[in-house]
Amino acid sequence: MWVAEGLTHRYPTKVLAELLPTCPQYCGHCTRMDLVGNSTPVIDKLKFAGKPNDRLGEMMDYLRRTPSVRDVVVSGGDVANMPWPRLEDFLTKLLEIENIRDIRLATKALIGLPQHWLQDDVRAGMERVATTARERGVSVAIHTHTNHANSVTPIVARATRAMLDTGIRDVRNQGVLLNGVNADPHALLDLCFRLLDGAQIMPYYFYMCDMIPFAEHWRVSVADAQRLQHHIMGYLPGFATPRIVCDVPFVGKRWVHQLADYDTERGISYWTKNYRTSIEAADPEALNRTFEYYDPIHTLPESGQQWWAQHADLDSTALKAAEVAEASRRMAALQAY
């Protein structure tokens, strides 16, 4: 869905600008593991072909001629890995485009390397960006990523306060549901309260872990995600109650209660979409078709696990290997598509 190298136009009014392919911290559940970091034995990473200035220029050209886009997520990798003068130049040019009304800076570094956001040049630069944004009626926010209350340390709170003091609108958290880490109502609420009370970070989203190789042990079923959403309701202010979402291949993020149908025995959920992307622009059935998402095999009832074992012509001792192979197959299919 790249409309220019590194610029994904997936939603009708929003784009994702991947400025660079590096990050201060590499997560095994990374939603952009196809691009970020070096190739591994599991996956060959995409590589930017264009020169950085050319790529960023092409992104700007697309945004200037596409007035339907109002919201830009500036990410990578991680914007903290881009030299501040280059990032500020990109943001300043974004602010000059009349139709851009929301800018979100995506950075794991607020949690993993908060010292970056406490540097004098970064603080001063963010204040310039925030001042220009306010003058032009544009919202600028920072989106970070943490998955456990223990990661919200005093220096994270200092860095968040420093960014809020520059005049940006908000700092929000987009976490990932990880079995054994936070996929429990108490752990999830502890994290949300630590974000709010300990660092003034708004709990925003918790994504279900993507169907990527060697991440099956972290993934939870859609049914478990729905139960988690139910259990955390009522304890937080409505504006600070995070929504648990599933990033459905070829659809996009969907609230876990938005599914169209669900075979809980086999762990297959079915989803619909209400907009077209570039890859189905000419498809008349795009808005009527259902798209599948698969629960991890180990979360299914015994009958469902046996169905998959028989369906794949495997015995039960091979189920774990089958999960890894199935995740790899799905990733390869997505890349081939």
Residue 196 inside a domain? The answer is yes
Residue 252 inside a domain? The answer is yes
Q: Which long-range contacts (CB under 8 A, 24 or more apart) does 252-257 make?
A: 252/10, 252/11, 253/205, 253/207, 256/208, 256/222, 256/225, 256/226, 256/229, 257/226, 257/229
What is the rounded average pLDDT of the residues 119-146? 98
Q: What angle do CA 171, 172, 177 make, to 5 degrees?
A: 155
pLDDT at 310 over 80: yes
Residue 289 inside a domain? The answer is no
* CB-facing half-sphere around the CA of 41: CA atoms within 13 A: 1
Nearest residue to 252 via CA among 278, 214, 218, 224: 278
What is the rounded average pLDDT of the residues 80-94? 97
Pick the more confident residue, 66 or 1.
66
pLDDT at 300 over 50: yes
Residue 301 inside a domain? The answer is no
Residue 328 inside a domain? The answer is no
Average pLDDT, the chain: 92
Look at the block and give the residue holding tokens 């937080």.
236
pTM of the complete model? 0.89
pLDDT at 124 over 70: yes
Token pair recorded at residue 13: 């009014």
First to last CA, the chain: 11
What confidence tier does 321 reach under pLDDT thresholds 50, 70, 90?
Answer: low
Instruction: Residue 123: give the domain boundaries.
Output: 2-260
pLDDT at 335: 56
Look at the block and give the residue holding tokens 């784009």.
15
CB 147, CB 176: distance < 8 Å? yes
What is the rounded average pLDDT of the residues 238-266? 96
Residue 21 inside a domain? The answer is yes
CB 269, CB 226: distance < 8 Å? no
Largest Cα separation within the chain, whole Å, is 64
Token pair recorded at residue 154: 């005093």
Kind of pairing between the strands at 261-263 and 268-271: antiparallel
Which of 95-109, 272-286, 292-306 shows the lowest per-residue confidence on average (mean pLDDT)?
Answer: 272-286
What is the total count of domains within the chain?
1
Pick the more confident residue, 332 or 20.
20
pLDDT, tens only, 163-216: 999 999 999 999 999 999 999 999 999 999 999 999 999 999 999 999 888 889
pLDDT at 281: 82
If you write DSSP's letter for every residue of 74-132 in order, what string do you get?
Answer: EESS-GGGS-HHHHHHHHHHHHTSTT--EEEEE-THHHH-GGGGGSHHHHHHHHHHHHH
What confidence tier does 29 reach under pLDDT thresholds 50, 70, 90?
Answer: confident
Please give the share of the chain, as a percent, with pLDDT higher than 90. Answer: 78
Helical segments of the chain, H only: 52-64, 84-95, 109-112, 120-135, 154-165, 185-193, 199, 222-232, 302-311, 319-336
Nearest residue to 143 via CA among 90, 237, 71: 71
Residue 114 inside a domain? The answer is yes
Token pair recorded at residue 192: 């949300």
pLDDT at 78 over 50: yes
pLDDT at 311: 83
Q: Any idea what the CATH number is for the domain that residue 205 is in? A: 3.20.20.70
pLDDT at 337 over 60: no
What confidence tier does 331 reach under pLDDT thresholds 50, 70, 90?
Answer: low
What confidence tier does 306 reach under pLDDT thresholds 50, 70, 90?
Answer: very high
pLDDT at 34: 81
Token pair recorded at residue 170: 């908000």
pLDDT at 94: 98
- The amino acid sitting at 303 is S
What confidence tier does 333 reach under pLDDT thresholds 50, 70, 90?
Answer: low
pLDDT, tens only, 227-251: 999 999 999 999 999 999 999 998 9
pLDDT at 327: 55
Residue 292 inside a domain? The answer is no
What is the rounded average pLDDT of the residues 260-289? 92
CB 117, CB 109: distance < 8 Å? yes
pLDDT at 219: 96
